[in-house]
Amino acid sequence: MSFKNATMVWKNGTLLPWTEATFHVSVHGLHYGTGVFEGIRAYETERGPAVFRLQEHIQRLFASARIHSIEIPYSQETLEEAVLETLRANGLQSAYLRPIVFFGSESLGLLPLNCPTEVAILAWEWDLLLGAESAEKGIRATISSWQKFDSNAMPATAKACGQYLNSVLATREARARGFHEALLLNSSGNLAEGAGENVFLVKNGTLVTNGQADDVLLGITRDSVLQLARDRSLPIVTRSISKLDLFTADEAFVTGTAAEIVPLCEIDGQTIGTGQRPVTRELQQAYQAAVRGQDPHHPEWLAYAEKPGFRVQGLGSRG
């Protein structure tokens, strides 16, 4: 990942050059992880760049903030427009967008007394999280020795900054062992999720995934895949997933905004299924059509960045 094409940052209501969008090293969020964030993608379409499921992402940002008692000093509508404004300001055809909200600098006790709420939005070009060829070739994963934190210890349904230390530990372990990604089990010994993704299995033509009771973040890409599967009348079961379920699946894949839809071809050296992935491939194609404005069933999923007279790099002027 590189930030070389990022030029502007939205910071507390103002667009600033990338190098000027700074905060003091005493911010509470840096020291204790007291913040929430979202990962959002924008895609190139025939109508210019469009942000995928922007409203749902910002709704989840506010829900995460409420769980952690962080009051966001803007409305949801203001932040939705700010995301589009940041995309336009950077002149990107496609982008990864990162709104983040955190407690700023005032005190460093565990209670963020009088710490202001800081809000920023970044935008940059970012290829697939697990590699440019991951969608086609799939990835090798390992079951991590690190356990996914229990929802009674920290709310797994919130997308909070500090909780990602759990994922960092698992990811570093997986890469050190020669794998692309880590899968984390919960305290019951069942699958929770990947370090940065939800997990789906396919067994006898049925799509299987787990849910909130399994200590997972309910991903927006996960929700999109479930809706696309319903559109195609694919049978769906939501239940806990055991290690045996993983190893005996016909297909398996992970989903997330940064990763999109990536096949799991191997787990701890064991090949998943026969290597044929018809259901995964069908859902990948459906997802790509949806994010690029080619799915007539879900136009509401796209928020177009363009305004009259706005010029996007390489696309020319559109009205």
* Domain limits, CATH 3.20.10.10, in the chain: 134-291
DSSP letters, the chain, are ---TT--EEEETTEEEEGGG----TT-HHHHH--EEE--EEEEEETTEEEEETHHHHHHHHHHHHHHTT---SS-HHHHHHHHHHHHHHHT-SSEEEEEEEEE-SS--SSS-TTPPEEEEEEEE----TT-TTHHHH-EEEEE-SSPPPPTTTS-TTS-BSTTHHHHHHHHHHHHHTT-SEEEEE-TTSSEEEESSSEEEEEETTEEEE--GGGS----HHHHHHHHHHHHTT--EEE----HHHHHT-SEEEEEETTTEEEEEEEETTEEPTTS--HHHHHHHHHHHHHHTT--TT-GGGEEE---TT-EETTTEE--
Distance of alpha carbon 134 from alpha carbon 266, whole angstroms: 13
Residue 313 binned pLDDT confidence (cut-offs 50, 70, 90): very low
State the pLDDT at residue 56.
98
Q: Which CATH number fits domain 8-126: 3.40.50.10860, 1.20.1250.20, 3.10.20.740, 3.30.470.10?
A: 3.30.470.10
131 has a pLDDT exceeding 70: yes
Q: What is the pLDDT of residues 159-183, one digit of tens each?
A: 999 999 999 999 999 999 999 999 9
What topology does CATH give the domain 134-291? D-amino Acid Aminotransferase; Chain A, domain 2 (3.20.10)
**pLDDT higher than 90, residue 130:** no
**pLDDT at residue 312 is higher than 80:** no
Q: List, by residue range, all CATH 3.30.470.10 domains of the chain.
A: 8-126
Catalytic positions, please? Answer: 159
Cβ burial, residue 18 (10 Å; 0-12/13-18/19+): middle
Closest CA to 11 of 123, 115, 109: 123
**Mean confidence (pLDDT) of the chain:** 94
**pTM for the whole structure:** 0.93
Side chain identity at residue 272, one-letter code: I
Q: How confident is the model at residue 319 (pLDDT cuts 50, 70, 90)?
A: very low
Structure-block tokens of residue 211: 């849910």
Across 194-204, b (16+ Cβ under 10 Å) vs e yields bbbbbbbbbbe
